[in-house]
Amino acid sequence: MCGIIAYKGNKNSTNIILNGLKILEYRGYDSWGVASKNDKIHIFKEIGKIGEINKINLPNAKIAIGHTRWATTGSITKENAHPHLSCDNKIAVVHNGIIENYEELKKNLKNHRFVSETDTEIIPHLIEENINLGLFEAVKKVANLLEGRSAFIVISEYSDDLIAVRKGAPLILGISNDEYFIASDIPAFLDYTKNVNYLDDNEMVVIKDNPTFFNFETGDEIKKRIITIEWDKEQARKGRYDHYLIKEIMEQKETINRAINQDESEIQKIANEINNAFGTFFVGCGTAGKVCHAGEYLYSKIAKKHINFVVASEFSNYKHFLTDKTLMIAVSQSGETADTIEAIETAKKQNVKVISLINVKGSSINQKSDYSLLINAGPEKAVASTKAATSQLALLLLLAYASANRLKEGKLLLIETAGMINDMLNLRYEEHIKRLAERIYENEHLYIIGKAANYPMALECAIKIQEISYMHAEGFAAGELKHGPIALIEKSTPCIILVANDETKKDVLVNAQELKTRGAYTIGISPEYNKIFDYWIKVPDAGDASPIVNIIPIQILSYHLALLRKHDPDLPRNLAKSVTVK
């Protein structure tokens, strides 16, 4: 979590940093800060979101760094906001990640004065302690001392060099004419350049007049090729929408088609690997985890093949079952989720082959995988995942069809589904869902049920509602209700029923009737009307793609619940977009 950015060039650096921080705010919004450097280092820090601030009181400078924080070590205070300084105030550092051995390292810095509770603050002090080696050597030494996943950027009064280190957390260099940007994510500098160098783990970059890359473990210089990225800066903006969330929900008109627009021979090759593996694990966290869980059902139904779904943070418990014939499919929008990375590392130790489904090219998971499929959803900025989730589902569905030797059929189904989603996502549809939100937004509890692949989707709907509206929402396997949770149902408790037009329909409707009999206010997400529903939201009959179409109305519902309950749908409390801590 946390977003870091740096600039070196001839423009007013603080404006560039401020704009970049606003774009990176999805990575953390507990506090933020900027350091600029002309002859001296100047600092500005604030608690809370950057919001509408367009100017900060710092002198014009050609070098600056900035940070937006998701608090881990140390509470949310101005002192704990980055950048952090050395005792002589001549070295300023912004950092994303966790320094696992910071307490141990701090013990050796007895004569230094610390002003924050953060782990980060040891970095400028350690550099200061070693500054007699010169800034580059001091930073290199410190990079080798830190344990845990980190990325940090350093400016100093000792030289005009801008130095950045990647040790497990993302960092990308943007290159324009005579100006350089470094950030945790590309959209932070997409207004200025599309030409980038990805830093790999254990690499650092030193920008004097030009950038030079080094492996900080060996000290070797590294040559890098400039990559021109395809993301359009308009894609990374809100455009005519009030929030990224609703923009990204509406983008699902196109994103399914983009996800399945893959090289068919590659898809077939991966499907064959799944067929031939001695055990395949689908692994992810949160929404990506629910997608993996749905993938398990889709594979069972379509390819008649058992897949092991495991939540990434639990994967190490399965290490006894891994061999060099095992396959892992890791699913992650950001490609930076620490739990998923750790699961991949566990797998790699046992020589497991790892294929990932990711949205961010060059991300850590992309680099750690044997092979990656890009879901091509474009930048996802709202903290709650929407378009990435449906794109991931589409790709897993396509793989399941390919595993059943029915790739063409699967592709056709998904193309039809994309067309149906395009027709469905109109203003009238959104209004219909908004009216439902107006009826239920004052309730504190809400339950969702589904069966087969729509069971994990019920769990996903619950995540969406919880994280954006802060209502208590819980998803259940429809048949499980009568084994306990039905005791929670009171008169008018809203209950959402996810229905697919297949062999599960009859059972789910029986369970819906059980809820209605206990007084629930039943909301049917279904291709067909049924008199059990007090409120009906029609979804297209998408066959095996029903989990994809069924979650979309709940994404819209969550958005309107958040607005009615006066919460920011893009930046929900306590959360951040990429969860780079364990």
- Residues in contact with ligand F6R by the rule CB under 6 A: 285-288, 332-334, 337, 340, 384-385, 463, 467, 578-579
293 vs 411 by CB, closer to ligand F6R:
293
User: How many residues are given for the chain?
Assistant: 582
What is the rounded CA–CA span in Å between residue 333 and residue 315? Answer: 18
CB of 571 to ligand F6R, least distance (A): 12
Cα 63 to its chain centre, rounded Å, is 29
- What does each C-alpha distance from 570 to 224, 237, 532, 565 come to in angstroms? 35, 13, 34, 14
420-442: b (≥16 Cβ within 10 Å) or e: bbeebbeeebbebbbebbeebbe
Q: CB-based contacts of 333: which residues, under 8 Å, 6+ apart?
A: 287, 288, 358, 359, 360, 375, 377, 380, 385, 388, 389, 392
Nearest distance from residue 388's CB to ligand F6R, in Å? 6
Between residues 399 and 463, which has the closer beta carbon with respect to ligand F6R? 463
Residue 495 parent element (H or E): strand 494-498
Determine whether 325 is an active site residue: no
Identify the residue whose tokens are 């059902």. Answer: 297
Catalytic residue check, 285: no
CB of 27 to ligand F6R, least distance (A): 11
Pair 485, 512: CB distance under 8 Å: no
Active-site entry in 2, 285, 292, 461: 2
How many angstroms separate the CA atoms of 8 and 179, rounded? 6
The distance of closest approach from Cβ of residue 287 to ligand F6R in the complex, given in angstroms and rounded to an integer, is: 3
Nearer to ligand F6R, 35 or 291 (CB): 291
Name the DSSP class of 340: H
Minimum Å distance from CB 70 to ligand F6R?
12
Residue 576 CB, nearest distance to ligand F6R (Å)? 9
Which residue's beta carbon is nearest to the bound ligand F6R? 286
CA 109, CA 116: separation in Å to the nearest integer? 14
Looking at residue 134, its amino acid is G
Q: What residue type is assigned to position 97 of the chain?
A: G
d(CA 198, CA 171): 7
H or E stretch at 364: helix 364-368
The pairing of beta strand 494-498 with beta strand 521-526: parallel
Between 70 and 214, name the residue whose CB sits nearer to ligand F6R: 70
Contact (CB, 8 A) for 449 and 554: no
User: What CA–CA distances, in Å, run from 194 to 162, 230, 336, 404?
Assistant: 20, 7, 21, 40
> Which residues on neighbouring strands pair with residue 8, listed in sequence order?
63, 180
From the number of C-beta atoms within 10 Å of its C-beta (0-12, 13-18, 19+), residue 478 rates as buried
CB 384 → ligand F6R: shortest distance, Å? 4
C-beta closer to ligand F6R: residue 27 or 166:
27
Cβ-based nearer residue to ligand F6R, 86 or 558: 558
Nearest to 199 by CA among 325, 313, 343, 367: 367
Beta carbons of 5 and 65 less than 8 angstroms apart? yes
d(CA 215, CA 350): 26
Nearer to ligand F6R, 384 or 552 (CB): 384
Residue type at 410 in one-letter notation: G
> Closest CB to ligand F6R among 326 and 555?
555
Is residue 1 within 8 A of residue 336, CB to CB? The reply is: no
Q: Kindly name the residue from 37, 90, 247, 577 that is annotated as catalytic.
A: 577
Q: State the distance between the two ends of the chain, measured CA to CA, in whole angstroms.
A: 11
Q: How far is the CB of 332 from ligand F6R (least distance, A)?
A: 3
Closer residue to ligand F6R in complex, CB, 328/420:
328
Residue 9 CA to residue 178 CA, distance in Å, equals 6
Judged by beta carbon, residue 25 or residue 467, the one nearer ligand F6R is 467
Q: How far is the CB of 578 from ligand F6R (least distance, A)?
A: 5
Site of tokens 């970095």: 123
Q: How far is the CB of 579 from ligand F6R (least distance, A)?
A: 5
The residues annotated as belonging to the active site are 2, 577
